[in-house]
Structures are given as structure tokens and as C-alpha cells.
Amino acid sequence: MAFKVTTFCQDGVAIVGIDSPPVNALAAGLAEMVADIVEEVNEAEPVKAIVVVCAGKTFVAGADIRELGETAAGRMGPITLSAAFNRIEASAKPVVMAIHGTALGGGLELAMAGHYRIALSSAKVGQPEVNLGLIPGAGGTQRLPRLCGIAKALDLCVSGRTITAAEALEAGIIDKVVEKDLVDEAVAYAASLGQVRRTGAVALPAADPEAVEAARKGAARRMRGQTAPLAVIEAIEASSRLEFAEGLDEEKRLFEQCLYGPQSKALMHVFFAEREVGKIPGAAVEALPAVEKAAVLGAGTMGRGIAMCFANAGIPVRLSDQTEAALDAAMAAIRETYEAGVKKGKLSEADVEVRLALIHPSASLDGFDEAGIIVEAVFEDLEAKQRVFTQIDEVARPGAILATNTSTLDIDEIATATSRPERVCGFHFFSPAHIMRLLEIVRGRATSPEVLTAAMELGKRLRKTAVLAGNCPGFIGNRMFAPYRDAAIRCVEQGASPWAVDEALTGWGMAMGPIRVGDLSGLDILREVRIAAGLAGTVEDRLIAAGRLGEKTGRGWYSYAAGRKAEPDSEVEEAVRAYAGEMGIEQRAFTADEIVERCVSALRMEGRKILDEGMALRAGDIDIVYIHGYGFPAWRGGPMFSGM
Ligand code: NAI
């Protein structure tokens, strides 16, 4: 047992201290031990009230996710938190929960089992279980609505968002907020109370069918395919109909349905894969000094977004292109993007000025000698990139990282243009670079371990999920994307309509269908990717020949006459039928499941090859690439996760 629970008496108040480093997670037996002690001190005559407080930097930050996973897999006994929390709530003497740091999930459920809650103003609370495909399973769905009403409980549990102590106070989840001296304040508060107040014993919360309906609609729209949001809505709705004990039974039923279902397994896998993804085995080397200044060469679509990534992280960045006109256009576009953020309430005008002041446009390589990293984002052309790398090599300081944002070219070939291939690696951002979380860090043959460690570190500072990839055509993400799209187009050639293919995959949970993605990326660009992957031609070549390149020409697989909305186009279906006839491709009907099976299998097969060749460190890394870079539904765990 890696935790302890201590007791101490101060001014007639028993202080129960939980100490379960590092975040006081509810390891098996901890809640029972707290309940045992609460019962014991109830017997002690001089004790008037009880305060529960946690050691270290936070209150109970949640359940132990590893143990949840073990229970889900049948390797550990059932979860018994609810019974322990009921015993705490049954205390005859007032129990005050003293919250600092974050009380999330099981932590907030423990807090709500106390009779009163006092918190530091810096504390945060929430029920983020949906992010793991779960619902609160220890009374949260029944106590929370009794404290803050059905609508607020739905808001918190469906979104999984974390709220400040001030918001929790206003909502009635917390009773008192203090600035400092939490324990002393809690003791004084507990001593002043005199009577218990059991949340489980208060009247049923008022029914709110409108809020329930709105939550259901919102979840169907924003969390399509996910079961936990619907389960938590059901449990919260039940709190207004069922007495507390029956409500808990209903919660237990729904919780177990989620816990033993496939989505929570998938989301727990993603949770752990995200923790692993930054780790490079054997990379125990001294990292390079942290990057203080950056430089980006090429101020096109990607260069602009990459410069914004640095500015957003507070890192001054030089942005260079061939002409002043190109730079003016880039700076205007960057300002426009930031201003759009202001309109959406995400940034203040002051933020915009601070960030813009960090981006220094220049038509020369002036200042590149001061940069800890130089990211090249010029045209996708090997010779152009090699020329640029030779120039960069001449000006860059000795310790600098020289990175290329190439999406298809060979990092080693680019590195040969420099005198220091050990400093060269790939920094493959995804478009739009300032938004997409994924960043593939590509290891060249000569890339040094220090450079890789520093690159991964920098990725974190840029708030990206950095994944290490080997130097193969398309790296991890695009390499798998080529056969995936190929499988989708083959379904179309064999009789499925392009829209049916997209619907099958979006219905399955992909953010966008593979046919529609083609239109967004540009069919001509994807043809290059396909050729690089060694795949044969498809009917798509006909569309390209007819000038249907995708959204940028107003027509691709779909038509985009009315603004950006993609409209199915019968001309495309005719072109496909003509092609199939000429090529003698037999036509047949497809079910949505079959389309999904074919496309996702193609992803998985290429993923296996990538693993076999050592181009990805772990299967989980590939899952993360697809979830953060390609709109793969996290609740299915990723293409390599075996729970399909
Ligand atoms: P782009 O055509 O929008 O921008 C390229 C910029 O580089 C232009 O502004 C051009 O003036 C500038 N440039 C060309 N030669 C230069 C030189 N010698 N010195 C200074 N500037 C020079 O291209 P985009 O889309 O930004 O792509 C850049 C790189 O990023 C390519 O390697 C591409 O494969 C890669 N990439 C593109 C993605 C995308 O979705 N567009 C996604 C991920 C990577």
C-alpha cells in the first residue's frame, strides 16, 4: 500500500490527512480507510467535527486509472468507492472536505460525500470521466445534481470540463472559498457548524426535461458515436426520479456498462499512449540548451502557421521568404488569423500585439545565426530544399537544430546538403500548423540523440503532441493515409458511391471521410503522395485530368458551388461508371461495415509494416498520430488498437 491516512486533533476537530503521492489518487483501499477512520473518530467523545485534507500539491485528483483498467479487464475486484463514500456521508459528526489543487472525478465524488466543502480559491473541480469513456460511478451523478441542479450537473459531466472554485461556489458545489491557510480555515469552519448535512438525504433535484433534451442533442452532435455522454445524461436524469439509494443502483448499472464496454478500454489505452508517446528509449542523454529563439524559412501556408506556433509559446521567431511582398502577405494573414481569435473570444487585442511583436519578418537570413532551431518550409522540391539547407548551414550557429517540414522527401538526402547531418531532423507539422496538435519528429540516419531529445522537448513547449517517426516516405501518418485512401477509392471503383464511402467512415466516427479529405488537400497533391507510395493509378486521375482538383478549383469529387459546402455531383458518378466499364471492374453493392472494414484494415496493415520496420516506436504512437492528425475517433482507440 503506497498510501497512508493520518489523524490529528486540533480544537476539537479531527483532521484526517490523506497522503497518497503523487496526486492522492484513490488507490484500492484508500476510500475504505478514510471511511474507517471517520467512523472511529465519530466514537471519540471530544471530537466535534471532522476535516478531510490531502498532503502534497492536490486534493484527491481522481481514481487510479490503472486500477480502473485492471478492473475492466477482470484482473481486479469490483470498485467499491460508492459504499465507502456512503459510510463517510453517514457520519454523525459534520465532515468538511478541504480542497486544494484539483478534485476531479472520484476526488470530487469523495468531496461531495462530505457534508460541507471548503476550497482554496486556486482549486479546481470537475467530473472528467467521459474523457475516459466512463461516468462518475461513486455517487457523482446523484449528489452533483442535488448540489447544483440538473442543468449544471449535465454541463459538467457531459463536457468533462474543469471549473474554478469561484464557479463551483456559485453553483453550490462548494460552500466556502478561502485565499490561504486552508487547514486552519477548515478547522474553524468545521467547529462552527454543529450539524451534519447529507447531500444524499436532501430532496430530489427538480426535473429539467429541457436541459436533458438539450444535453442529448448536444452530445449527439458533438460527441457522435460515444456512449459515455449518453449514459451520464441518463444517470443524471434518473436523479430527479429515483430516491438516492435507487439512483446509486442506476448509476452503478450505467457505470459498469461503460467500464466493461469497448469505449472506455479504448480511451484508457489512448490515455496511456499519450503518456508514453514522448519517451524515447535509451535517450538518456544531456539535452541541448532550451531553444530561446527560432527561425522559419518559407512564409507560405505552413511557414506562417509554424511561426505562430513559436510566437504562441512566447519564443521570438524570424520568418524569412524570398520577397518583401511574400512577407507582407504572410504577416497580414497571420494578423488576420489572430484577429479571428479575438472575435471568437480566445485572445485579447493585447495578446495579438504581444504575439505579432515576437514574429520578425525578413527577406534575408539576418538573425538566423541566433536561432536555436531553424525550420525550413519552402516548396516541396528536393533540390530547392538542399540549396536552402546549404545556405542555412553557412549561417546557423553550431548547436542549432536544422529542421525540415517536408511531408514526403528523404531527410537524409536533405541532410547531405549540410556539413552537420547530425543536427538535421524532420519537424512535420500538420495543416493548419497553429491548430493541429500532431507533430511528427523525423529521425534521419545521422540525427543525434541530443537533437531528438531537444526536438521532443520543444514539441511539448509548442503544445504539440510530438511523435517520433522514422525516415520513410510519408513518415507515419501520410504513409498510412495513402493505402487508406486507396482502399476507399477502390470501393468507389467497385460500385460504392463516393458519398456512401464518406458517410460510412464518418458514421463510424472519422472526423471527415477520405474522399472529402482528398478534395480538401488537393487531388493533384495526393497523386504525388500515391506515386511516392508506389500505388497504381485510380479513377481519381480522370478527375484530375478534367481539372477537378478539389476545393481549390471549386470541383473535385464533390462540387463546391455554394461556398464551401460539399455537394455530391452526378458527373463524378458517371465518370466512375465509365472508368469501371473501360477497366472491366465488376460492380457490386457495399455495406457501410464493409467499407469501414476495408479502409481501416488498410490503415492497420500499413501500420504493422511501419512497426516491423521500426519506423514507429510503439503501436500506441501510431494511434496517437491518427487521433491527433487525422481525425480518428479516440473512443475507438486508434487504428492499431485491437478493440475494433
Ligand atoms: P507554400 O507554397 O504555401 O509556401 C512555400 C513558401 O516558401 C513560399 O512562400 C515561397 O515563397 C517560399 N520559398 C520558396 N523557396 C524559398 C527560398 N529559397 N527561400 C525562402 N523562401 C522560399 O507551401 P506550403 O504548403 O507551406 O509547404 C511548405 C512545405 O511544408 C512543403 O515542404 C510541404 O510539403 C510541407 N507541408 C505542407 C503541408 C500542407 O498541408 N500544405 C502539410 C505538411 C507539410
pLDDT in tens, 399-438: 999 999 998 899 999 999 999 999 999 999 998 999 999 9
From 365, 379, 405, 431, the mutation candidate for ligand 1 (largest count of ligand atoms within 8 A of CB) is 379
**Are residues 23 and 134 located together in one domain of the fold?**
yes
Please state, rounded to an integer, the average pLDDT across all residues of the chain.
Answer: 95
Q: Global pTM?
A: 0.92
Number of domains into which the chain is organized: 3
**Are residues 584 and 455 located together in one domain of the fold?**
no
Which of these three, 235, 260, 285, is where a domain ends? 260
Characterize 158-189 residue by residue with b for buried, 16 or more Cβ atoms within 10 angstroms of its Cβ, and e for exposed.
bbbebbbbebbbebebbbebbeeebbebbbbb
Residues 6+ apart with CB under 8 A from 287: 450, 453, 454, 457
Residue nearest to atom 14 of ligand 1 (CA): 378
Is residue 526, in this structure, part of any structural domain at all?
A: yes
Which of these three, 206, 235, 260, is where a domain ends? 260
User: Where residue 539 sits, what CATH number does that domain have?
Assistant: 1.10.1040.50
Query: What's the pLDDT band for 643 if we cut at 50, 70, 90?
Result: low
**Are residues 350 and 222 located together in one domain of the fold?**
no
**Are residues 102 and 48 located together in one domain of the fold?**
yes
Residues 6+ apart with CB under 8 A from 641: 266, 269, 619, 623
**Are residues 554 and 607 located together in one domain of the fold?**
yes
The pLDDT score that the predictor gives to residue 644 is 42
Q: Which atom of ligand 1 is nearest to the CA of 387?
A: 18
* Average pLDDT rounded to a whole number, residues 36-58: 95
User: Is residue 16 scored above 70 in pLDDT?
Assistant: yes
Cβ proximity of 484 and 510 under 8 Å: no
Task: Return d(Cα 470, Cα 621) in angstroms, integer.
Answer: 12
Is residue 502, in this structure, part of any structural domain at all?
A: yes
Per DSSP, the chain holds a count of helices (H) and strands (E) of: 26, 17
Q: Where in the sequence is the domain holding 458, given as residue range(s)?
A: 294-473
User: Is residue 284 scored above 70 in pLDDT?
Assistant: no
Residue nearest to atom 35 of ligand 1 (CA): 406
Which of these three, 473, 497, 522, is where a domain ends? 473
Q: Which atom of ligand 1 is nearest to the CA of 320?
A: 20
Is residue 106, in this structure, part of any structural domain at all?
A: yes
**Are residues 434 and 454 located together in one domain of the fold?**
yes
* Average pLDDT rounded to a whole number, residues 160-168: 98
**Are residues 126 and 212 located together in one domain of the fold?**
yes
Give me the active site residues, please. 109, 129
The pLDDT score that the predictor gives to residue 373 is 98
The pLDDT score that the predictor gives to residue 214 is 98
Kindly report the length of the chain.
644
**Are residues 158 and 205 located together in one domain of the fold?**
yes
- Over residues 476-518, the pLDDT tens digits come to 999 999 999 999 999 999 999 999 999 999 999 999 999 999 9
From 304, 375, 405, the mutation candidate for ligand 1 (largest count of ligand atoms within 8 A of CB) is 405
Is residue 629, in this structure, part of any structural domain at all?
A: no
Residue nearest to atom 40 of ligand 1 (CA): 431
From 296, 302, 405, the mutation candidate for ligand 1 (largest count of ligand atoms within 8 A of CB) is 302
- State the distance from the centre of ligand 1 to the C-alpha of 407, rounded, in angstroms: 10
Q: Which atom of ligand 1 is nearest to the CA of 385?
A: 18
User: Is residue 533 scored above 90 in pLDDT?
Assistant: no
- State the distance from the centre of ligand 1 to the C-alpha of 421, rounded, in angstroms: 22
Is residue 279, in this structure, part of any structural domain at all?
A: no
The pLDDT score that the predictor gives to residue 252 is 96
**Are residues 574 and 452 located together in one domain of the fold?**
no
- State the distance from the centre of ligand 1 to the C-alpha of 297, rounded, in angstroms: 9
- Over residues 189-199, the pLDDT tens digits come to 999 998 999 99
Is residue 563, in this structure, part of any structural domain at all?
A: yes
From 296, 297, 301, 387, the mutation candidate for ligand 1 (largest count of ligand atoms within 8 A of CB) is 301
- State the distance from the centre of ligand 1 to the C-alpha of 475, rounded, in angstroms: 18
Is residue 626, in this structure, part of any structural domain at all?
A: no
**Are residues 525 and 413 located together in one domain of the fold?**
no
**Are residues 46 and 148 located together in one domain of the fold?**
yes
User: Where residue 38 sits, what CATH number does that domain have?
Assistant: 3.90.226.10
- State the distance from the centre of ligand 1 to the C-alpha of 340, rounded, in angstroms: 23
Q: Which atom of ligand 1 is nearest to the CA of 521?
A: 40
* Average pLDDT rounded to a whole number, residues 213-224: 95
Task: Return d(Cα 106, Cα 83) in angstroms, integer.
Answer: 13
Please give the residue that has the higher pLDDT: either 154 or 564.
154
- What's the distance, CA 319 to chain centroid? 29
Is residue 507, in this structure, part of any structural domain at all?
A: yes
Pocket of ligand 1 (CB under 6 A): 297-303, 320-322, 326, 377-380, 384, 388, 405-407, 429-431
Residues 6+ apart with CB under 8 A from 625: 438, 440, 467, 469, 476, 477, 616
- State the distance from the centre of ligand 1 to the C-alpha of 542, rounded, in angstroms: 27
CA dihedral sign, ordered 430, 462, 373, 443: negative
- State the distance from the centre of ligand 1 to the C-alpha of 493, rounded, in angstroms: 33
Cβ proximity of 89 and 117 under 8 Å: no
User: Where residue 409 sits, what CATH number does that domain have?
Assistant: 3.40.50.720
**Are residues 74 and 149 located together in one domain of the fold?**
yes
Query: What's the pLDDT band for 74 if we cut at 50, 70, 90?
Result: confident
DSSP percent split of the chain into helix, strand, coil, nearest 5: 50, 15, 35
